[in-house]
């Protein structure tokens, strides 16, 4: 499914193209409220990652429809049901993305959304209940694990960069995509801390922005502000991307790192520390921060002020305390004092 604009007389049409033909989704005249500018904003209503995921999902649905001699646009509720049932190996989250893409495609084409029919919802809910399993979460990088990872890093330029990534990523509870998107102009260097203005994030598609605090902890091997200052000074990074590529000869390049680079840095440090790299991912820094803060008794609203979560339920899904919270609750309920 592809979209394009074309001028037809005094009208502007947004055309959705599928394997079945062309479907007009939006039409506007020069005097209509829905202008070319409105159409432009409509194209920016979803993030690039979401649009890529929807495009891939729609291609899969179109392929299924063509293979089974069914119509993809408009699709009948029965076609949707048979399609989701055919996804026997897919995760529930994958099915939900496919349904969201199908829904979006129909709504953009000005057609009835077949995913909203009650019989479709019932089948999808049955699939959710049948396939519900505990998520395969990666291990959190708690403070003790972080100390092990940092201890393995050399004092080279690459080591200083990786140290800053690990410590800042942990202290700021950054998503890896947020971490690599940071620029020098996003920082404010203060005597006792560094403030970081996060201009865009997964949960802030409107670009309202938020500020994270990176504390200065003197004489501590895991001081995130110290590590960041040391990297910026050693690499002589004065503007543009903060975390950059380093070539084989140790030269700092202009190109910024990718989120995949962050995951590889974490796994490489874990392996050097004698840990199983398969247990950790790019989310492990963020998960570790939330887990440690929650176990230390920090209130949810204060944790969310650093993580940027809008939902406490979603934020608490990151907490992996290996039963420590449950142990404290049980001990307290028994009227006992002490820890684990």
For residue range 80-122, list pLDDT tens digits in order.
999 988 886 778 888 888 998 899 889 888 888 999 999 999 8
Q: How far apart are CA 24 and CA 33, in angstroms?
A: 18
pLDDT of residue 86: 87
Backbone angles phi, psi at 293, to 5 degrees: -65, -40
Could you tell me what percent of the chain has a pLDDT over 70? 73
What distances in angstroms separate CA 121 from CA 60, 63, 100, 128, 238, one per listed residue? 20, 22, 13, 10, 54
Between CA 49 and CA 134, with CA 285 as vertex, the angle to 5 degrees is 75
Answer yes or no: are the C-beta atoms of 26 and 36 closer than 8 Å: no
| pLDDT tens track for 222-253 | 899 999 999 999 999 999 999 999 998 999 99
| pLDDT tens track for 168-222 | 999 998 988 899 999 999 999 998 889 999 876 555 555 557 888 898 887 778 8
State how far Cα 277 lies from the chain centre: 21
Answer yes or no: are the C-beta atoms of 211 and 198 closer than 8 Å: yes
Token representation of residue 96: 């939900």
pLDDT of residue 321: 59
Backbone angles phi, psi at 318, to 5 degrees: -85, -15
What distances in angstroms separate CA 259 from CA 160, 176, 178, 196, 306, one per listed residue? 18, 5, 8, 18, 20
- SS3 of 95-163: the string is HHHHHHHHHHHHHHCCCCCHHHCHHHHHHHHHHHHHHCCCCCCCCCCCHHHHHHHHHCCCCCHHHHHHH
Backbone angles phi, psi at 182, to 5 degrees: -70, 140
DSSP state of 6: E
Collapsing DSSP to helix, strand or coil, 296 comes out as coil
Which residues have CB under 8 Å from 43's CB, separation 6+? 3
Which residues have CB under 8 Å from 190's CB, separation 6+? none
Q: How far apart are CA 340 and CA 329, in angstroms?
A: 10
What distances in angstroms separate CA 260 from CA 197, 252, 269, 282, 308, one per listed residue? 22, 18, 14, 8, 22
pLDDT of residue 336: 56
Active site residues: 175, 202, 283, 286, 309, 318
Q: How far apart are CA 266 and CA 167, in angstroms?
A: 11
């Amino acid at each position: 499914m592809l979209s394009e604009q074309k001028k037809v007389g005094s009208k502007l049409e947004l055309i959705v193209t599928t394997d079945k033909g062309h479907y007009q989704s939006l039409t506007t005249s020069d005097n209509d409220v829905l202008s070319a500018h409105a159409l432009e904003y409509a194209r920016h209503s979803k993030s690039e990652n979401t649009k890529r995921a929807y495009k891939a999902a729609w291609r899969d649905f179109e392929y299924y429809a063509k293979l089974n001699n069914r119509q993809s646009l408009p699709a009948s509720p029965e076609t949707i049901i048979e399609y989701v049932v055919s996804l026997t190996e897919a995760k529930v989250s994958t099915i939900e993305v496919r349904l969201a893409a199908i829904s979006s495609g129909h709504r953009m084409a000005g057609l009835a959304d077949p995913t909203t029919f009650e019989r479709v919802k019932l089948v999808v809910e049955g699939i959710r209940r049948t396939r519900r399993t505990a998520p395969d979460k990666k291990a959190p990088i708690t403070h003790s694990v972080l100390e092990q990872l940092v201890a393995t890093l050399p004092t080279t330029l690459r080591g200083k960069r990786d140290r800053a990534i690990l410590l800042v990523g942990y202290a700021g509870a950054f998503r890896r995509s947020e971490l690599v998107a940071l620029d020098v102009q996003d920082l404010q260097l203060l005597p006792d801390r560094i403030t970081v203005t996060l201009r865009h994030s997964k949960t802030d598609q409107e670009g309202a922005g938020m500020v994270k605090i990176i504390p200065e902890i003197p004489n501590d091997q895991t001081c995130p502000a110290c590590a960041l200052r040391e990297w910026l000074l050693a690499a002589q990074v004065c503007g543009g991307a903060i975390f950059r590529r380093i070539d084989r000869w140790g030269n700092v390049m202009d190109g910024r790192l990718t989120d995949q680079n962050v995951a590889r840095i974490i796994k490489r440090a874990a392996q050097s520390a004698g840990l199983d790299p398969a247990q950790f991912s790019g989310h492990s820094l963020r998960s570790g921060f939330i887990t440690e803060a929650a176990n230390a008794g920090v209130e949810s609203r204060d944790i969310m002020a650093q993580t940027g979560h809008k939902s406490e339920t979603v934020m608490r899904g990151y907490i992996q305390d290996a039963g420590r919270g449950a142990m404290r609750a049980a001990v307290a309920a028994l009227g006992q004092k002490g820890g684990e």
